[in-house]
A and B are shown apart, each in its own frame.
Chain A
């Protein structure tokens, strides 16, 4: 099983949350996000949109994977590595934060 994509060394169960400083629009095309501090807006679709949607509340990684699996109608073990990778990409984009 992959490790949580979080820098925290102090808590083995970090919580993932949406970044608080985002301007957001969500519709059929996906999710548009822009930081209030600058930069071009980005659009999330596919698995990134799904993970973003599940992060409507703070979640531990395992909880996040289980909820994505439940909404997708698949087993958690089948998608765990994909969700971890997606969360990593969202963190790299600064639209998801990891809180110890």
Chain B
């Protein structure tokens, strides 16, 4: 906790970091504590920033309701992820938790139907598929943009790369969802156990450097809710995410400078399996890249037939995709080769 807002360049840096990390709402909520000291113009700046962030959030929740309605009309099962769910269900006041897009998970079987539904709202895809049908079968999802610029991240699974194949999204849809009520409408979201695991996945497998807000989600759920830790361990074990959860918790505790707890100490002591260490190498460090994650996923693709189809899709990509992302087939093959060499699969 802070008892005084820093002044001068230190304040400018803190503000800049908070804006970049989408953490202005959190900073403003901390500063709202009656005991925190600061200059009037600092509190005014925090109020303006907080208000702007919350105006964005309610507009995003409106988009969430539009997406929920169109998916419901098409009988597509779905779960709203991250932002609105965590803000309303895991924080004491949703105004503490800002977010910048709408994330929704759908079953693989309904994926194309869901894309068509959201595009019927006037959205367009920000990027094309590697090959037709790739996203529905192997991809993490796609990003769609509504006419007002709102970004809808449609997920088929919760991660790119190998862990995208170890996460059993079928079990998510098999269980009764929790819900969040937005403008009087109940919208299905992940259970708290799955919300916690998804926060860990996002922290470790998402951005190269995890956002403070994501790390706060992890600490928020662990320290202030009744999340079932036995269930977390069981799901993480089934989805081969033990190391991801351990690294996420340990990273959050280090980054946020939290006092040790039994959970954070257990996370630091976690012994990673060979699969976990090798798979995580594609997401971390200087060798981190989307291409490397795609190549590293090959061993995790279930079944020989699917593995062959996945490899074929990676090599024989749609021509327009290859030119847009790799500058042509030749460069794509070279990059794939380099990725396998870095991964250690080739000498």
Contacts and interface: CB of A to CB of B under 8 A. Distances in A.
A92 interface: no
Nearest to A32: B54
A27 B28 contact: yes
A92 to B, nearest CB: 20
B184 interface: yes
Given A23-B58, A23-B182, A36 B51 contact: no
B94 interface: yes
A21 B58 contact: no
A36 B32 contact: no
Contacts of A35: 62, 183
Given A23-B61, A25-B94, A26-B95, A32 B51 contact: yes
Contacts of B25: 27
Interface in B12-67: 25, 28-29, 32, 43, 46-48, 50-51, 54-55, 57-59, 61-62, 65
Nearest to B184: A20
Give the interface SS of chain B, mostly helix, strand, loop or mixed: helix
B190 to A, nearest CB: 20
Contacts of B54: 25, 27, 29, 32
Contacts of A32: 51, 54-55, 58
A24 interface: yes
Nearest to A21: B183
Contacts of B271: none
Interface string A37-48: 010010100000
Given A20-B184, A25-B58, A36-B65, A43 B51 contact: yes
A100 interface: no
| Interface size class of chain A, counting residues whose CB lies under 8 Å from the partner chain | 10 to 19
Interface residues of B, number: 25
Given A32-B54, A43-B55, A27 B182 contact: no
B62 A34 contact: yes
B183 A22 contact: yes
B93 interface: yes
Nearest to A27: B95
13 contacts: A20-B183, A22-B183, A24-B58, A27-B25, A27-B32, A27-B95, A28-B28, A28-B43, A28-B50, A29-B47, A29-B50, A32-B54, A43-B55
Given A22-B183, A27-B29, 14 more contacts: A21-B184, A26-B95, A28-B32, A28-B47, A29-B48, A29-B51, A29-B54, A32-B51, A32-B54, A34-B61, A34-B62, A35-B183, A36-B185, A43-B55
